[in-house]
Structure 1
Amino acid sequence: MHLTLLPLLVAFFGLAFATAPSARASCTLKPLGQGKDDSPQFIAAMQACSTVVIPEGSTLNISTRLNTTGLTNRHLSLQGTMRFNPNIPYWSENGFPFPFQTQITFWILGGTNIVVDGGGTLDGAGQAWYDAFASNSSLLRPVTLTLFQATNVLVQDIFMINSPEWFNFVNEGKNVTFNNVTFNAASTSSHGASNTDGWDIYRSDTVVISNSVINNGDDCVSFKVSLHTTNVLVANLNCTGSHGISVGSLGQFAGVFDIVENVTATNIRMSNAENGARIKAFAGSGVGSGMVNNITFSGFIESAVDNPVVIDQCYETSAADCEAFPSNVFISNILFTTISGTGTSSVVADLACSPGARCSNITVDNLALTGPSGKAEFECQNVNLTGNAASLFGACTVT
């Protein structure tokens, strides 16, 4: 990973990073042991101390939910481990609820000027959840960490493992940076670690995600919106087993106008994945609407990816419903450039827009993608393409 990129990210966005504050008081937490719940002492320390240290070699047992919102100038030096006790009945009933896509979370962290670092581990103890979800698809599974109404936050140099569902949910955040974070969600049974997105960005502005390694079972990064998500830079990621860098899904909820704009994803390695660079939107009766504008996917290197380049305006919608009720999400000013590698089928790029000029100013440049046999097919519909790779697609049907 290219850690030297971080100053460029600061310059790109003009971010004011949170830095570790001068300590008014420093607290070091040690596990209570014997299965006791360390949540109350952790919450008390975060409220009272400028710097909270979890020492290397120690493991806090987090058995009840963590509300550490409204903080100012806090530094969590996570050198050891915080492990969330997999008490499924407790968390299903008591995880903090978020109405968007019916989520719950172990931990909400919010406020101003917050740093989380230290080289330690957040352990979601997800295996029990992966197994339980296989027989109960309605089971609510917790997000490991939710940044809620947080401004000037830096999360860096930590490990996150085995989240029950999404690893990180950035909800109504501003000036949030993740740097040098390593994720791993790996099931040890036949039941996969599903829906384990690395990051989901929602109603947030000015977010940087950089220099990180993700091995998971869903989107590497997803821009999920209800209202507005803007000004996001994703750079230098290594994603394995994921569903891609995904804008969307958009237009899911009736009466809601989604906006995602000003997003750059660059220098991404994607391997053994379902998708690479993707935009997805719902169609059909009774869905919402929205706008996707000014999105750049650049410098992707892909290996064994099912769908390396995708626009899908018929996401999880039948073909008949798509034709009768086209997507109400308008997609414009999109650039796919310098994308190379291999797909798992001969179709290496599929740009499928709804009729009615829903997609405009879509530029495709410098694609060097092949299928497993060396053959490459490029498909598109209802889109006017520009760029030097547009000839690869042939004539798109534009209605």
Structure 2
Amino acid sequence: MFRLLYVLLLTLLVAFGQRCTLTPSGGDDGPQFLAAAASCDTVVIPVGEEFNIATRMNMTGLTNTHINLEGTIRFQPDISYWTGNAFFFDFQDSITFWLLGGENIVLSGSGTLDGAGQAWYDAFASNSSLLRPIILTVYQAKNALVEDIHMVNSPMWFNLVYESNNVTYSNINITAVSTSKNTIANTDGWDIYRSDTVVIRDSTILNGDDCVSFKPNTTNVLVSNLSCNGSHGVSVGSLGQYAGIFDIVENITATDISMSNAENGARIKAWAGSDVGSGIVKNITFANFEVSNVDNPIVIDQCYETSSSQCSEFPSNTFIEDVWFNDVFGTSSGATVASLECSPDDRCSNINVNDLNLKAGKGTAKYECQNIVLSGNSVDLFPDCTET
């Protein structure tokens, strides 16, 4: 109830004041869009119009601003420009077209953000080091609402929440599809980093990587009522990637999720090896997950992107505790329906599995585990999990 009142108040707060309706220029519409956001309380991108963005947009420091996106914003696929001029973050060498930040911001209107990703998908196929932009980064924002938006063909992640607080996404439709032989890659729906109190709800995602990923220092997040197709799962992590850095992911709930044709369902992933960081994953709940044709419906992987020999010699320094997998049901693509692979020396604790009803797509259902003692009422499904 409090969250609904907050969203209503935020919408009303930015609904009054100077209203500016933009007209496509026929060239780069980025400068006029930036100028309008700086001076107008409401900026309207009219229905039926397409606005071409050919230069990066820094819309940080806004206050009480409503961007009413009824038409289309399309980011010009000028690869040479964006690779040299998009906003850069050290974290995982990410870049972005658009920084949106400040206090009391609404982006809504049933319009479309188009990343024009096909040129990027084709270029990345022959250059795996190519940095590709994120469509929208909510950056250093407080009280932000993004709702009723279509997002198509991002070159990289669709959404990054970076150093922000109290951000809500509602009724977002995400689609990434390649029209050539080159596949899409790294098209996460949402990545959350160094942010607190985030809600993602009532949305549909068709992509080629994580549906939602909780990156380092993400706390107090609710993800609910998502339909994810073709993804890598709803994922905590990956964590512990960078030496000398301590990562925290805490108080996460992902509930009422439909996951189909995916690599993973509910997942936690952390790095191991000789030159990695450390961290804590605590109080994580995955509940009411329906899976269909999913390779690994339930996953804990403390050897992420690490060889088995390195993982054995240098276990993960990211500790995982107080985790619940509740009411996960449906069918995997193969025999494995759950894989809980922890590092030795009690790096996983209080892992609970309850009310699982998972069937193998092929063969007999396998529940795999390593270095873990389970709690919950499905312990008997994991006969080897008492060994640590």
Q: TM-score, normalised by structure 2?
A: 0.98
Deviation at 1:17? Answer: 5.8
The answer as to 2:11 corresponding to 1:19 is: yes
Deviation at 1:192? Answer: 1.0
Matches within 5 A, 1:1-399: 7=1, 10=4, 18-20=10-12, 21-33=14-26, 36-225=27-216, 228-373=217-362, 375-396=364-385, 398-399=387-388
Q: Aligned partner of 1:152: which letter? A: N
Which residue is 1:3 aligned to?
A: none
Question: Post-superposition, which runs of at least 4 consecutive aligned residues in structure 1 deviate over 2 A?
Answer: 7-11, 14-18
**Is the alpha carbon distance of 1:15 and 1:390 closer, same or farther for their aligned partners in structure 2, counting shifts above 3 Å?**
farther
Secondary structure of the corresponding residue to residue 44 of structure 1: helix
Counterpart Cα distance in 1 of 2:307 and 2:103? 44
Counterpart Cα distance in 2 of 1:118 and 1:343? 37
Counterpart Cα distance in 2 of 1:178 and 1:15? 10
Counterpart Cα distance in 2 of 1:109 and 1:130? 25
Counterpart Cα distance in 1 of 2:218 and 2:168? 15
Deviation at 1:377? Answer: 1.0
Deviation at 1:374? Answer: 6.0
Secondary structure of the corresponding residue to residue 34 of structure 2: helix
Gaps of 5+ in 1: 1-6
Contact 2:260/2:294 (<8 A) preserved? yes
Secondary structure of the corresponding residue to residue 181 of structure 2: coil
Q: Aligned partner of 2:110: which letter? A: G
Contact 2:110/2:150 (<8 A) preserved? yes
Aligned length: 387
Counterpart Cα distance in 2 of 1:387 and 1:23? 52
**Is the alpha carbon distance of 1:329 and 1:349 closer, same or farther for their aligned partners in structure 2, counting shifts above 3 Å?**
same
Contact 1:277/1:308 (<8 A) preserved? yes
Deviation at 1:229? Answer: 1.2
Deviation at 1:263? Answer: 0.2
Q: Aligned partner of 2:277: which letter? A: G
Deviation at 1:344? Answer: 0.9
Contact 1:17/1:152 (<8 A) preserved? no
Q: TM-score, normalised by structure 1?
A: 0.95
CA offset digits 1:290-321 (Å, max 9, x no partner): 00000000000000000000000000000000
Deviation at 1:8? Answer: 7.5
Counterpart Cα distance in 2 of 1:112 and 1:16? 15
Deviation at 1:372? Answer: 1.3
* RMSD of aligned Cα (Å): 1.3
Counterpart Cα distance in 2 of 1:8 and 1:296? 21
Secondary structure of the corresponding residue to residue 313 of structure 1: strand
**Is the alpha carbon distance of 1:170 and 1:17 closer, same or farther for their aligned partners in structure 2, counting shifts above 3 Å?**
farther
**Is the alpha carbon distance of 1:310 and 1:37 closer, same or farther for their aligned partners in structure 2, counting shifts above 3 Å?**
same
Q: Among the aligned pairs, what percent are the same residue?
A: 62
Contact 2:7/2:145 (<8 A) preserved? no
Secondary structure of the corresponding residue to residue 304 of structure 2: coil
Deviation at 1:24? Answer: 2.4
Deviation at 1:15? Answer: 7.5
Deviation at 1:19? Answer: 1.7
Counterpart Cα distance in 1 of 2:78 and 2:380? 55
Contact 1:231/1:263 (<8 A) preserved? yes
Deviation at 1:398? Answer: 3.3
Q: Aligned partner of 1:78: which letter? A: L
CA offset digits 1:113-132 (Å, max 9, x no partner): 00000000000000000000
Gaps of 5+ in 2: none
Counterpart Cα distance in 1 of 2:309 and 2:8? 49
Secondary structure of the corresponding residue to residue 11 of structure 2: coil
Deviation at 1:375? Answer: 2.4
CA offset digits 1:231-281 (Å, max 9, x no partner): 000000000000000000000000000000000000000000000000000
Contact 2:334/2:363 (<8 A) preserved? no
Secondary structure of the corresponding residue to residue 287 of structure 2: strand
CA offset digits 1:198-241 (Å, max 9, x no partner): 0000000000000000000000000111xx21000000000000
Counterpart Cα distance in 2 of 1:272 and 1:77? 34
Deviation at 1:18? Answer: 2.4
Counterpart Cα distance in 1 of 2:61 and 2:223? 27
